[in-house]
Amino acid sequence: MQTRAEHEVFGGKQGFYEHESALCKGPMRFAVFTPSRAANEPVPVLYYLAGLTCNEETFVIKAGAQRVAEELGLAIVTLDTSPRAQRYAGDDENWDFGLGAGFYVDATVAPWSESYRMRSYVTRELRDLVEARFPVDNSRRGIFGHSMGGHGALTIALDLPGEYQSCSAFAPIVAPSQVPWGKKALPRYLGDDSAAWARYDAVELLKTRRFPGELLVDQGLADKFLERELKPELLESACKDAGQALRLRRHAGYDHSYYFIATFVEDHLRHHAKALRAVA
């Protein structure tokens, strides 16, 4: 692991790092905010999954989360949204597929299957690295994300409920099997059999899975992707049918941008802190 930069912020430390990933077949970058409390004891850790076109710096720079994370004693890990070292034909032709658009799946279709292993990267390789190298408590672990990353957070939390004790999402893609973004990406990464997509679809997972805690989801009603790609009503209905605790908040006037995330990120951090304190 290489340190690219470290900065003092609100008493904690914001670091930017790089390591050689066996799963992604090349260097991958990530960032960690470590609160000052970690100097004395391991702290709970949140993994944030960014959306389409973003990278490990986007949330760090735009969300304004460090002040509250320092107050609550939370570490926050951010990461890139796809492999970058391995290049494939057509990987940069569209902003919503390929580079910056790994969809947090383990691809099974060539050539993507060679290095687009983002599900295992998030839940195994990067997680193992962070929890070995940083003063975080691996028994108090949460996950959250935005848009494509909200899809990743919800599906990971539902698929691996014992490994994450808190979960939230901003404007998530809740049913990729049913919307254009997912119908574009999932067949290319996973093949044409829609049964293979279910593990990466929160609405489908809720037919057989439950997350033991409450899911917090915020959605802006001025989001230009709301009706075409996001469809939070599908998650609402699936949670109701499954008996899954969900707090879905709709906000008039808010769009899909990081202005929306910055407005409500404190609520999300407090949601995670409360759930993770209950684990201790």
- Catalytic site residue 257? no
Instruction: Give the active site residue among 21, 115, 147, 168.
Output: 147
Instruction: Give the active site residue among 146, 256, 268, 271.
Output: 256
Q: Which two tokens stand for residue 67?
A: 């002040």
- Catalytic site residue 256? yes
Cβ–Cβ < 8 Å for 230, 172: yes
Instruction: Give the active site residue among 80, 106, 218, 223.
Output: 223
Cβ–Cβ < 8 Å for 217, 235: yes
Q: How far is CA 116 from the centre of its chain?
A: 16
Q: Quick one: three-class SS letters along the chain?
A: CEEEEEEEECCEEEEEEEEEECCCCEEEEEEEEECHHHHCCCEEEEEEECCCCCCCCHHHHHCCCHHHHHHHCCEEEEECCCCCCCCCCCCCCECCEECCECCCCECCCCCHHHCCEHHHHHHHHHHHHHHHHCCEEEEEEEEEEECHHHHHHHHHHHHCCCCCCEEEEECCCCCHHHCHHHHHHHHHHHCCCHHHHHHHCHHHHCCCCCCCCCEEEEEECCCCCHHHHHCHHHHHHHHHHHCCCEEEEEECCCCCCHHHHHHHHHHHHHHHHHHHHHHC
Q: Is 134 exposed, middle or buried (0-12, 13-18, 19+ CB in 10 A)?
A: middle
- Quick count: other Cβ atoms within 10 Å of Cβ 42? 16
- Catalytic site residue 82? no
Residues identified as active-site: 147, 223, 256
